[in-house]
Amino acid sequence: MELRIRNLSKTYANGVVALNDISLTIPTGMFGLLGPNGAGKSTLMRILATLQECDRGSVFFGDLDVLDDKDEVRRLLGYLPQDFGLYPKVTAYEMLDHFAVLKGLSHRARRREVIDGLLQQTNLFDVRNQKLGTFSGGMRQRFGIAQALLGDPRLIIVDEPTAGLDPQERVRFHNLLSDIGDERTVILSTHIVSDVADLCSNMAIINKGELLLTGATQQLIDDISCKIWARFIDKRELSYFQQRHTIISTRLLSGRTLIHAYSDNDPGDGFEEAIGDLEDVYFATIAGRHVAEACD
Ligand SMILES: Nc1ncnc2c1ncn2[C@@H]1O[C@H](COP(=O)(O)OP(=O)(O)OP(=O)(O)O)[C@@H](O)[C@H]1O
């Protein structure tokens, strides 16, 4: 089901404009909300999860008024916040059992069936009787997803879930998310570009409370592909190139400095045409250089 956000705004009491007139349509499937720290992602996620009030705007999930009918939203929502506490002395099974009761799963045998299913799905069945305090970061995040999936939610919100996970756990977590994203609306909020590149068919970039870009991920990559130019430089030359070109990223590759320039035409100066990727879309957009416009 589609989530329609219209003209959503939020200013905190200290005057920080966390969201400025955001309008965004989020289709079924995995949606990536990408932005640097402080962009307003968590504020948006908390408003969608009914945990915070906005100042203005509307949000509909299908016909459901998300800002008005909070009880109904909570029935079909699964939310994995950025930081969530776990009771360290309770086992994974006991904790899920407790939440399942709160979700209204009162029939004991049915509850067991649901919990066992979730533990299998998140690859935690073998450690179900282990105390949560012994869990690694990756296990905690997978447990968080198991918890968020209780009650078979239609709308799932995960806020920065892969920060701090090792590469193997990240892949595992990605696979888990892509499995659940097939027929649900899943919003993944992150500052990690590859999370979105790997998982999300649609996405948006926000910064300083503003929506900068939204669309189908592959289309956004295609649209920038003709505008990215690359070359290696000596790092002492960086300011020379920065003065003459729109440099959107600087990275080290095997100890050498690779720079990407954004330009509609060949910028000369030793640059070669590069294949633009989602990082280029992200950096060019955040730098205020890029608006989506198809390549010829
Ligand atoms: N309770 C609050 N009171 C005042 N300002 C706040 C509050 N919560 C967030 N902010 C500010 O609002 C802006 C958006 O914060 P938010 O947490 O939504 O961003 P974010 O994109 O989720 O960043 P991060 O990844 O660092 O959590 C930031 O400037 C932040 O300092």
Domain boundary among 150, 182, 208: 208
* Per-residue pLDDT tens over the stretch 32-85: 999 999 999 999 999 999 999 999 999 999 999 999 999 999 989 999 888 777
Task: Supply the ipTM of this predicted assembly.
Answer: 0.95
Position in ligand 1 atom list of the atom nearest CA 39: 21
The domain tally of the chain equals 2
Percent of the chain with pLDDT over 70: 98
Q: How far apart are CA 285 and CA 194, in angstroms?
A: 16
Ligand 1 pocket, mutate which of 17, 19, 33, 41 (most atoms under 8 A from CB): 41
Q: Looking at the domain assignment, is residue 122 inside a domain?
A: yes
Tokens of 221: 């990559």
What CATH number has the domain bearing residue 35?
3.40.50.300
Same domain (yes/no): 140, 245: no
* Per-residue pLDDT tens over the stretch 225-256: 889 999 999 989 999 999 999 999 999 988 89
Closest CA to 154 of 199, 122, 186: 186
Distance 208 CA to ligand 1 centre (A): 9
Domain boundary among 161, 179, 208: 208
Reported residue count of the chain is 296
224 pairs with which residues across the strands?
none
Residue whose CA lies nearest to ligand 1 atom number 30:
38
User: What would the DSSP string read from start to end of 103-168?
Assistant: TT---HHHHHHHHHHHHHHTT-GGGTTSBGGG--HHHHHHHHHHHHHTT--SEEEEES-STT--HH
Same domain (yes/no): 228, 101: no
Same domain (yes/no): 231, 129: no
Same domain (yes/no): 118, 195: yes
Domain boundary among 185, 208, 231: 208
Residue 294 confidence (pLDDT) = 61
Q: How far apart are CA 262 and CA 284, in angstroms?
A: 7
**Is the sign of the CA dihedral 4, 153, 140, 70 positive or negative?**
positive
Tell me how far CA of residue 285 lies from CA of 35, 246, 262, 291, in angstroms: 10, 12, 11, 7
Q: Looking at the domain assignment, is residue 245 inside a domain?
A: yes
Q: How large is the average pLDDT for residues 105-116? A: 93
Q: Are 187 and 157 in contact (CB under 8 A)?
A: yes
- Note down the domain range covering 99: 3-208
Same domain (yes/no): 156, 182: yes
